[in-house]
Amino acid sequence: MKFAPGRTEWARQQGNPAIVLIFKFQERRATQWQATQWRATKWRATRGAPLARRLLRNKLSAGLAALLALAVFATQTARAAEEAAGNSPLLYTSVPKSLLGPLEKSFEKNHPGWRLRVFRARAGTVIDRIESEWREGRARADVLWAGDASLFAAYKKAGRLSPYSPPGASAIPPDLKDPDGFYHAVRLFHLIVVHNKNALVPTPKGFADLVRPIPRKKKAVPDLIARPPPSKSGASRAGFFAWSRSPDLGWTFLRSLILGHPEFGESFGAAAELLGRSEARGAVLADFIAYRLAKRRKRIEIVWPAEGAVTISGPAGIVKKTGPAGNVGKAAENPGARRLADFLLSKPAQEIIRKSGLYAARTDISPPEGRPPLDKIKRMPVAWEELPAAEQELLSRVGGLISLAKRDAKKKK
């Protein structure tokens, strides 16, 4: 029903009350009819159409769920086929993507028809995942390349690794591989001393010189030795453990280091920034960070410590898939695991590692540019297998010394 606007006003102007009443009644009826039509239209838009859409969406969801289930089944079937074929080894690792990418390409280029599968995450995440799989009864990984030597020593003791010595392992120094062949270093870096020439103090010869009192005529640079705390860096924790067990250093050195220089950088990168801004007279840094800094800042001097550098190795080992703890396996279940272990110590892979700025584990591979050869470096001897048992006590004692140093610093203020 339509109603022409203005008719009621026209009737009022004509002075005919009856016509005005008739027109008003018709206008009210028209308004009611329009409201009814609007409500009907709204119902179709908000009830009918969405209902149809919901029905369609439910059908699509069911179809999508079926497709996803089929995809998961196909993926699991393909994964099982790959594992059975043995030409698609699975690597669990924490190495940076910048290093992992070239290694993946090189592996597949040098092994036509093979594919390298990778699970990459932070070391803690990788370790949590593989240990969870072991608890469930079977690990998926073929090769583990994450953590440090202390972790692999613990896994060897628990019967979680299979012994295998790749051909390239013969070029690795004895202190950087397991004598029984359960694991071996693949990449390395070292904790060394870095000195700021602007500090106007003699260049230290080793770690011990960092804490010896040195009279200075001028204090152009704060008397700070930068390094990350062991609670926030695995490499720093390894360094503190090595110093605590060194006959030349021990807890006497650690106490002097912490109480005399209580401020820490949050990481090796942060410690390098403090040194680069001349806010510290020295630092303990990873060698690849130290050499990058020295290249940018002429006042930075590199010192390979007289006591020996603390070498942090990144080992790899073949994962034992199943079996009770303590039962040492004989060989890898997946033949691709050995092929991958061979590759990681091959010259092409070790050259990629060297070009990334890290030391290759093989002595027949040249060192990174500007650094001494691996077989010429004095390394501090460390019983890494003792670190897991000593870790909590180490962190507790260091934490206590840090708290004491902070309280002393507040009193001086």
User: Do 403 and 260 have their domain in common?
Assistant: yes
| Same domain membership, residue 201 and residue 171 | no
- Residue 370 CB burial class (10 angstroms; 0-12, 13-18, ≥19): exposed
pLDDT tier, 104 (very low <50, low <70, confident <90, very high otherwise): very high
Domain assignment present for residue 84? The answer is no
The β-bridge relationship of strands 310-319 and 161-162 is antiparallel
Backbone angles phi, psi at 376, to 5 degrees: -105, -5
Which DSSP letter does residue 309 get?
B
182, pLDDT greater than 90:
yes
**Residue 36 confidence (pLDDT) above 50:** yes
Using 50, 70 and 90 to split pLDDT, how confident is the model at 217?
low
372 pLDDT above the threshold of 60: yes
**Cβ-based burial of 98 (10 A; exposed 0-12, middle 13-18, buried ≥19):** exposed
Q: Residue 137: what pLDDT?
A: 85
Name the average pLDDT for the chain. Answer: 82
Between 55 and 349, where is the model more confident?
Answer: 349
Q: What is the pLDDT of residue 2?
A: 45
Look at the block and give the residue holding tokens 């086929």.
81
| Average confidence (pLDDT) over 388-392 | 93
Determine which of 131-135, 149-153, 278-282 has the lowest per-residue pLDDT on average. Answer: 278-282
Percent of the chain past pLDDT 70, that is, above it, reads 73
* 279-298 mean pLDDT: 92
Percentage, residues of the chain above pLDDT 90: 55
The answer to whether residues 330 and 262 belong to one domain is no
The answer as to whether 19 is a domain residue is no
3-state class of 219 per DSSP? coil
Same domain, yes or no: 259 and 115: no
Let me know whether 179 and 193 are in one domain: no
Would 43 be classed as within a structural domain?
no
The answer, yes or no, to whether residue 75 has pLDDT greater than 80, is no
Residue 258 sits in the same domain as residue 183: no
360 domain residue, yes or no: yes
Least confident of 41-55, 167-181, 280-294: 41-55
Give the pLDDT mean for 263-274: 82
How many independent structural domains does the chain possess?
2
Based on the domain organization, do 182 and 194 belong to the same domain? no
Choice among 212-216, 326-330, 403-407 with the minimum mean pLDDT: 326-330
Residue 68 included in any domain: no
The Cα 257–Cα 185 span in angstroms is: 30
pLDDT tier, 51 (very low <50, low <70, confident <90, very high otherwise):
low
300 and 342 share one domain:
no
Residue 348 resides in a domain: yes
- Residue with more model confidence, 407 or 15: 407
Q: Which residues contact 299 (CB under 8 A, 6 or more apart)?
A: 196, 197, 198, 278
Contact 233, 286 (CB under 8 A): no
- pLDDT tens for 223-232 read 788 888 888 8
Mean pLDDT of 6-25: 57
Residues 262-286: what's their mean pLDDT?
A: 85
3-state SS, one letter per residue, for 233-290 = CHHHHHHHHHHHHCCCCHHHHHHHHHHHCCCCCCCHHHHHHHHHCCCCCEEEEEHHHH
The CATH code of the domain that includes 154 is: 3.40.190.10
Please report which confidence band the pLDDT of residue 7 belongs to, taking 50, 70 and 90 as the band edges: low
Residues 156 and 212 in one domain: no
Q: Which tokens hold the place of 217?
A: 């005529």
My answer on whether 183 and 233 are in the same domain is no
Please give the pLDDT value at position 54: 55
Residues 160 and 258 in one domain: no
Residue 395 belongs to some domain of the structure: yes
Say what the pTM is. 0.75
User: What single DSSP character describes residue 379?
Assistant: B
Q: How far apart are CA 242 and CA 390, in angstroms?
A: 11
CA angle 215, 308, 399 (to 5 degrees): 70
Beta bridge partners of 93: 120, 145
pLDDT (0 to 100) of residue 389: 92
47 or 181: whose pLDDT is higher? 181
- pLDDT at residue number 406: 79
Q: Are 368 and 354 in contact (CB under 8 A)?
A: yes
Flag whether pLDDT at 218 surpasses 60. no
Judged against a pLDDT cut of 80, whether residue 242 lies above it is answered with yes
| Whether the predicted pLDDT of 110 surpasses 70 | yes
- Cα separation values, 190 from 30, 217, 314, 379, Å: 90, 33, 11, 9
Is the CA virtual torsion 332, 336, 337, 343 positive or negative?
positive
**Residue 13 falls within a domain, yes or no?**
no
Question: Cα dist. 109→96, 256, 349, 355 in Å?
Answer: 20, 53, 12, 18
Residues 174 and 217 in one domain: no
- The parent domain of residue 250 ranges over 188-310+390-412
